[in-house]
């Protein structure tokens, strides 16, 4: 998969993407990640990409021309399945189901907003959808874009080392009592067996896969009911 991020602050991505899982995925050529500076398509030599909103209002809006030119450049690379996503507090909430859906594309293009937001014509005619990572407002879409890149990348085969790591975890679809559900993962324990008077549940030490699965399903159902 290739992920393109279009942003006004490309340096924000340097440190997070030069560490851990994402760096390994890029180094191993599992993921191709490219960060684009929107000002490369600015309207003038001053790097202008925004303007005051018609009708008045506080703040500045990102103009459609730079975004259009940036997207046209990105789309020159032909792929079978591409999704263009605008990160916005007004978008639909990001869920694990949506992350799984996005991971199926060959090319994911993320627009990281800033200032007061985007000209509505960008929303209506240039992107496929708006996504929000929560009902709160950030100073820009950069951090939200990083969340999407991280969540999508870890679902790509080979990124986590053992692919089953991403199949049984919080909010992934699992089967309990012959039903497909999504919810918080069951509790997990490691050594030592006893710590400060708190012991690992006996069933996890039994070596009986059936009993362990029943316990895990029970604990997950309890979390779903809270």
Domains and CATH numbers, the chain: 2-153 (3.40.1280.10), 170-225 (1.10.1270.20)
Hunting for tokens 């398509």 — which residue is that?
A: 41
Instruction: Output DSSP code: residue 16.
Output: G
Confidence (pLDDT) at 58: 86
**Length of the chain in residues, anyone?**
226
- C-alpha 90/C-alpha 135 separation (Å) is 8
- C-alpha 10/C-alpha 5 separation (Å) is 9
Q: Which residues of 47-56 are buried (b: 16+ CB within 10 A; e: fewer)?
A: eebbeeeeee
Along the chain (226 residues), what's the average pLDDT of each consecutive run of 10 residues?
A: 97 92 94 98 96 92 97 97 96 96 98 90 97 94 97 92 56 76 89 96 97 94 84
**Listed residue (19, 7, 43) closest to 150, CA to CA:** 19
Confidence (pLDDT) at 164: 45
Confidence (pLDDT) at 167: 54
Confidence (pLDDT) at 161: 67
């Amino acid at each position: 998969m290739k992920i393109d991020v279009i942003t006004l602050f490309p340096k924000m991505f340097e440190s997070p993407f030069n560490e851990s899982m994402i760096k390994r995925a890029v180094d191993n050529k599992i993921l191709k990640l490219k960060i684009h500076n929107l000002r490369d398509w600015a309207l003038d030599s001053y790097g202008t990409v925004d303007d005051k909103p018609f009708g008045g209002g506080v703040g500045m809006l990102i103009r459609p021309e730079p975004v259009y030119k940036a997207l046209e450049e990105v789309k020159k690379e032909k792929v079978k399945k591409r999704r263009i996503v605008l990160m916005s507090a007004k978008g639909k909430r990001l869920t694990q189901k949506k992350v799984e859906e996005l991971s199926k594309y060959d090319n994911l293009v993320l627009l990281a907003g800033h200032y007061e937001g985007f000209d509505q014509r960008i929303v209506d005619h240039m992107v496929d959808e708006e996504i929000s990572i929560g009902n709160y407002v950030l100073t820009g879409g950069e951090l939200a874009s990083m969340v999407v890149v991280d969540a999508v990348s870890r679902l790509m085969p080979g990124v986590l080392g053992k692919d089953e790591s991403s199949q049984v975890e919080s909010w992934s679809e699992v089967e309990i009592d012959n039903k497909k559900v999504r919810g918080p993962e069951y509790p997990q324990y490691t050594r030592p067996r006893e710590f400060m008077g708190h012991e690992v549940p006996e069933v996890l030490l039994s070596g009986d896969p059936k009993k362990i699965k029943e316990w895990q399903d029970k604990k997950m159902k309890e979390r779903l009911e809270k």
